[in-house]
Structure 1
Amino acid sequence: MSKKEKFALYLTPEKKATLERRYTEDGSRSLTAFIENAIDFYLDYLSANNAGLFLPTSVQSYLDGRLDQFENRMASLLFKQAVELDMGMSTLADCVNLDEEYLRRRRANSIANVKRTNGRLRFEQIARDSYEDGSDDAWQD
């Protein structure tokens, strides 16, 4: 352990009371250890800030703006995709009469497929699996 030097530290009574009440929160065994940790943290912060590791306000503002644009674009694309999906499902529902039980089984099967593939579904694989099962090709006769 290195030799320590004693010097005067002046604090307001409120700040001293807060320090005495909270110094053990980070595992410090003494006020001195806590103050040393706080000084080290602040010096590291100043060093990192001088080295450019923290983003300047203008860069942060620019990034926030670009992320807002990206969020708006993604929301727009998801809305358009939902409209197209609704159109396809509505058209299919108009053409084919499906009973409730079939729809419940199909939903359970779809949920299982999405979970199993982590959402990476491929139409070709679903068609291949359906053909190999042989359960859904009776209507094609």
Structure 2
Amino acid sequence: MEKVRKAFYIEEELLGQVDALLPQADVRSRNEFVNRALRFYIGYLTSEKIENYMLTTISSVMHATVKDSENRMARAMYKLAVETSKLSHVIAYSHGVDEQALGKLQAKCAEEVKRINGAVRFEEAYQYQQGDRF
């Protein structure tokens, strides 16, 4: 790279610190030290801008990912509701359940789902219906 000669002012104390750090910085001159220090500081300032850009980009990507997941879950829940509705209609058509028994079943199922936090298992319902009242 082509170098140009420029004059600038520097605090005496700062120049003393530069001289003391020349061996640690592994440079041969004040000039080389100042060039490295400027490159480092420019990189630091640039990285702040890049960091802000990256944070904005990552936030945008995360928002889109969450939105996509919400859409997929909503579609899956819709399909599940359709299947549940079909099963309900088939069972209601094929079994004569009176309104009183249906009301008791509703209350029992609501209590059960609350108690087991929605983790319904067919096996447990089967055992209950067979008389193994756990």
Smaller-chain TM-score bracket: 0.5 to 0.7
Mapping 1:1-141, distance limit 5 Å? 56-131=55-130, 132-133=132-133
Alpha-carbon distance in 2 for matches of 1:75, 1:60: 22
TM-score, structure 2 length as denominator? 0.56
TM-score, structure 1 length as denominator? 0.53
Report percent identity of matched pairs. 30
Partner residue of 1:46? Answer: none
> Which ranges of structure 2 fall in alignment gaps of 5 or more residues?
1-47
Alpha-carbon distance in 1 for matches of 2:127, 2:90: 24
What SS does structure 2 have at the residue aligned with 1:97? coil
Alpha-carbon distance in 1 for matches of 2:111, 2:72: 30
Aligned Cα root-mean-square deviation (Å): 2.3
Larger Rg: 2
Partner residue of 2:3? Answer: none
Alignment size in residue pairs: 84
> Which ranges of structure 1 fall in alignment gaps of 5 or more residues?
1-49, 134-141
Give deviations 1:62-81, integer Å, cap 9, x for gaps.
Answer: 11111111011000000000
Give deviations 1:106-133, integer Å, cap 9, x for gaps.
Answer: 0011011111111112111121133224
| Larger RCO, structure (CA 8 Å, separation 6 or more) | 2
Give deviations 1:53-112, integer Å, cap 9, x for gaps.
Answer: xx6101100111111110110000000000011111111112122110000000011011
Alpha-carbon distance in 2 for matches of 1:73, 1:83: 15
